[in-house]
Amino acid sequence: MTATPQNNQDNQEIDLSQLSKKIGSFFENITTQIFRAFLFFRRNIIWVGILFVIGAGLGYYLDKTDKVYNNQIIVLPNFNSTDYVYTTVELINAKIEEGDTIFLKEVVGIKEPKKVLKVSISPIPDVYKFIDNKPQNFELIKLMSEDGDIKKVVGETLTSKNYPYHSISFVTNGITSKEKTVDPLLNYLNNSAYYQAIQKEYVNNVKIKIAKNDSIISQIDGFLNAFNNTVNGSQKSDKLIYYNENAQLADVIKAKDELLLEQGNKRIELINLDKIVKDNSIILNILDRSAVNNKMKLILPLFLIGIFVLVSILKKYYKYQMAKINS
């Protein structure tokens, strides 16, 4: 009856002993490999040093001459031209990926097309401007958010393309300038006969609206002046607009204030309507430090030494296999 428990205890002790030996052997093997690596680098210290110096020098040269820069243009597409702008930017990027420098230089007008590595466009989320004075947009956001996360709704393509401002980003190999890259891009985007015709009519309509509002404001001023003269007992003009005592004077003043506010907004709107794609901000030549950019002075020495170590290991493995075959 007592033999079985005793055997189980002995087996557990044996298993623990074997496990302990395996763990010890594992750590001993690691320390052995570390020591071998130390001996390898000590034997090849000259080659390692030469490769490190070559890699660092070449990496420093590449970091100095081959720099990548990020650039950004914040634009306002007018006249419902957002889809047109996105499609055009995607076309330009496709031509960049194809290496079609003739199209980029002669059609788009970019002065140094080989320097431009990529161009993209993305919306600048601003849900407040999206729903500002637009009840239908507010109802749309409410309806879409009922079935999902509001953050996802805000980022949906259907919603994001309707934000007023968008960011055109492009990457260049080396420093660029507004004249060499930005102006040609914006000129190409604004060179649309269809949207130029819409722009002409839209601007004309805004100017007509401003003129009509000025006329209404002038009439309100005349009415208020006449009313003021009546209250003060002044002599009435033969062109007096008769005042209905039941009318609410506060509503008249409020209407004038609203018209004045609308006039101010319309005049500001005209400033933004001078282009199909209005540029609001341009940021150029931000050094890209992500990934391997500007880090070649560190990466190249490690890469060359790694290749040297790999070749040495393969060479040793080859000799070992040949010795086995010959024996």
Report d(CA 261, CA 264) in Å as an integer: 5
Query: Domain-by-domain residue ranges, the chain?
Result: 3-63+294-326, 67-191+276-287, 199-272
Q: What is the pLDDT of residues 45-95, one digit of tens each?
A: 888 888 888 888 887 776 666 788 999 999 999 999 999 999 999 999 999
pLDDT value at residue 310: 87
- Architecture of the domain delimited by 67-191+276-287: 2-Layer Sandwich (3.30)
- Asked whether the predicted pLDDT for residue 198 surpasses 90, the reply is yes
Q: What is the pLDDT of residues 243-282, one digit of tens each?
A: 454 456 778 888 888 888 988 989 988 999 999 999 999 9
pLDDT value at residue 211: 93
pLDDT value at residue 125: 79
- Asked whether the predicted pLDDT for residue 104 surpasses 80, the reply is yes
Tell the burial category of 321 from Cβ atoms under 10 Å away from its Cβ (0-12, 13-18, 19+).
Answer: exposed
Report d(CA 197, CA 82) in Å as an integer: 16
pLDDT value at residue 8: 54
pLDDT value at residue 192: 93
Task: Lowest mean pLDDT of 57-66, 206-215, 225-234, name the range.
Answer: 225-234
- Asked whether the predicted pLDDT for residue 102 surpasses 70, the reply is yes
Q: What share of the chain is helix, strand, coil (3-state, %, to 5)?
A: 70, 10, 20
Of 131 and 120, the structure prediction assigns the larger pLDDT to: 120
Which of 262, 234, 230, 236 is CA-nearest to residue 249? 230
pLDDT value at residue 251: 80
Of 155 and 21, the structure prediction assigns the larger pLDDT to: 21
- Asked whether the predicted pLDDT for residue 96 surpasses 70, the reply is yes
Q: What is the pLDDT of residues 133-148, one digit of tens each?
A: 555 555 555 555 555 5
Report d(CA 169, CA 65) in Å as an integer: 22
Spatial neighbors of 116 by CB under 8 A, at least 6 apart, are: 96, 104, 110, 170, 171, 172, 176, 181
> What value does the CA radius of gyration of the chain take, rounded to a whole number of Å?
37
pLDDT bracket for residue 236 (50, 70, 90): very low
Report d(CA 197, CA 79) in Å as an integer: 10
Report d(CA 131, CA 285) in Å as an integer: 34
pLDDT value at residue 158: 59
Report d(CA 279, CA 76) in Å as an integer: 6
pLDDT value at residue 157: 56
Give the Cβ contact number of residue 298 at 10 Å.
15
Report d(CA 147, CA 152) in Å as an integer: 11
Q: What is the pLDDT of residues 5-43, one digit of tens each?
A: 555 555 555 566 676 767 767 777 788 878 777 887 788
Report d(CA 72, CA 104) in Å as an integer: 18
| pTM confidence score | 0.67
Q: Which amino acid is at 220?
A: I
pLDDT value at residue 159: 61
Report d(CA 22, CA 326) in Å as an integer: 33
Asked if residues 277 and 245 have their Cβ atoms less than 8 Å apart, the reply is no
Q: What is the pLDDT of residues 272-323, one digit of tens each?
A: 999 999 999 999 999 887 766 667 777 888 888 888 888 888 888 777 777 7
In angstroms, the Cα distances linking 271 to 54, 89, 137, 264 are: 57, 24, 25, 11
Report d(CA 155, CA 123) in Å as an integer: 9
- Give the chain's mean pLDDT: 80
Q: Which amino acid is at 101?
A: T
